[in-house]
Amino acid sequence: MFFFEAIHWYDVVMWLAVLGILIGLNEFVRLGKWKSIAMFIILPAILTPIWLMKESEITSWFTWVKVYSALTGSIIFMVIRLTDYHEKHKWYICLVPAILAINILEAAIRELQVGLSGFNGIVDDMYYISGGWNYANAIAGIINMLLICGWSGIYRTKGKHKDMIWSDQTIMYIIAYAVWNIAYVYSCAPGNALYSGVALNIAPIIPALFWAKGTWMENRAHTLSFWMMWVMTFPYFFATGSTFNVSVSYNPAANWTISLVSLGLNVILAIWQVYRIIKNRFNPLKDEIWNDTKQYQKAADITD
Q: What is the pLDDT of residues 67-81, one digit of tens each?
A: 999 999 999 999 999
Which DSSP symbol is given to 248? B
Measuring CA to CA, how many Å separate 284 from each of 152, 238, 243, 254, 279? 10, 41, 47, 35, 12
The pLDDT mean for the chain works out to 91
Taking only the tens place, the pLDDT of each residue in 94-126 is: 999 999 999 999 999 999 999 998 888 888 778
Taking only the tens place, the pLDDT of each residue in 233-259 is: 988 887 767 888 898 999 999 999 999
Q: Nearest Cα to 221, choosing from 29, 47, 64, 46?
A: 29
Supply the pLDDT for residue 56.
Answer: 67
Per domain, the residue ranges of the chain are: 9-300
Q: What is the mean pLDDT of residues 39-50?
A: 95
Q: Nearest Cα to 11, choosing from 193, 226, 134?
A: 193
Taking only the tens place, the pLDDT of each residue in 150-171 is: 999 999 998 888 899 999 998 9
State the DSSP H helix or E strand holding residue 225, giving kind and residue range, or none if neither: helix 216-233
Measuring CA to CA, how many Å separate 50 from each of 41, 42, 44, 86, 124? 15, 14, 10, 34, 20
Instruction: Report how many helices (DSSP H) and strands (DSSP E) the chain contains, helices first.
Output: 12, 4
Taking only the tens place, the pLDDT of each residue in 176-194 is: 999 999 999 999 988 889 9
Share of the chain above pLDDT 70, in %: 97
Length of the chain: 304
Q: Nearest Cα to 140, choosing from 172, 166, 105, 164?
A: 105
Which DSSP symbol is given to 84? S
Q: What is the mean pLDDT of residues 130-140?
A: 97
The model's confidence at residue 86, banded by pLDDT at 50, 70 and 90, is very high
pTM score, two decimals?
Answer: 0.93
Residue 156 dihedral angles phi and psi, to the nearest 5°: -120, 150
Supply the pLDDT for residue 298.
Answer: 75
